[in-house]
Amino acid sequence: MNDKIEEVTALIQEKCLWQFFSRSWDREENIEGIMTMTGKILNGDKVNLVTPADKAFYSDAKLLAADIQKKMPWVSELDKSGVLELIEGVKQRLLYITVKKSRNCELNLSNY
pTM: 0.91
| pLDDT tens per residue, range 57-105 | 999 999 999 999 999 999 999 999 999 999 999 999 999 999 887 777 7
Boundaries of domain holding 67: 2-100
DSSP states along 60-103: HHHHHHHHHHHH-GGGGG--HHHHHHHHHHHHHHHHIIIIIS--
How many domains would you assign to the chain? 1
Contacts of 77 (CB under 8 A, 6+ apart): none
| 111 located within any domain | no
| pLDDT tens per residue, range 6-58 | 999 999 999 998 878 888 888 999 999 999 999 999 999 999 999 999 999 99
| 107 located within any domain | no
